[in-house]
Amino acid sequence: MSMAVDLVRFFHLVGLALGFGLAIYADARFMRSLQRPTGAADLAALRQIHGFVAAALIVLWVSGLTLLALRTGFDPAAISDKLRVKLCLATLLTVNAVMIGRVALPMMERAGGLAFAALPLQSRCLLAMIGGASAASWAGLMALGVFGVFKTMAFVEIAALLSLGFVVSFTGALTLAVLAPYLQAGMGGVFRLLPAALFAAAPLHRRRDEQCATSQG
């Protein structure tokens, strides 16, 4: 029995590591669309990554439920608060994966040729919320698997602590969505505005010089 548990735990950790790593890679690749249009190759790569993440989720569910059966026999009284939070996060990730496949990727495909910053604000915020939920959920699952302190914490305590991660993730993602057009302009936008401001100010300086010369004469 011990060998079977260890083997299932191995596949569970593999699924968790793959899902977490691929989710981070997908977010990093998506960030490239902040300033440049999303091409067909980018969309195809994101579709492929999403398929791998979905496969990792399946491995996570199958191995996790198998471990649950081996350890608790699905007896509710034997399921710890930590495992309950894990189940909640895995469910959220599954719903979010469906949202990515049914909403986020089709939205980006319909807007092919546009940079993220060029999308309407509502679309940018929706994509940001989906990405923020994915990042926070995977990070939460990874934290539950790494840090032993969660074993002795109550459900409410774990949920409250992980909620901070969701707040940070959503705040960062929505801030990026709102500021995306300004970030796209970058310093180039500032330098494009400076000449106009300088040329507009030049006549004023000339008029002041002329007024000074007249008064002195």
Q: Residue-wise pLDDT tens for the chain (217 aa)?
A: 688 889 999 999 999 999 999 988 888 887 777 767 788 888 899 999 999 999 999 999 999 999 999 988 899 999 999 999 999 999 999 999 999 999 999 998 888 778 888 899 999 999 999 999 999 999 999 999 899 899 999 999 999 999 999 999 999 999 999 998 888 776 444 434 444 433 444 443 444 454 455 555 5
**The model's pTM:** 0.80
Domain of 183 in residue numbering reads as: 2-190
Residue 197 lies in a domain: no
How many distinct structural domains can be found in the chain?
Answer: 1
Q: Are 42 and 29 in contact (CB under 8 A)?
A: yes
Residue 199 lies in a domain: no
Residue 6 lies in a domain: yes
Q: Are 80 and 152 in contact (CB under 8 A)?
A: no
CA neighbor of 27 nearest in space, from 128, 163, 174: 128
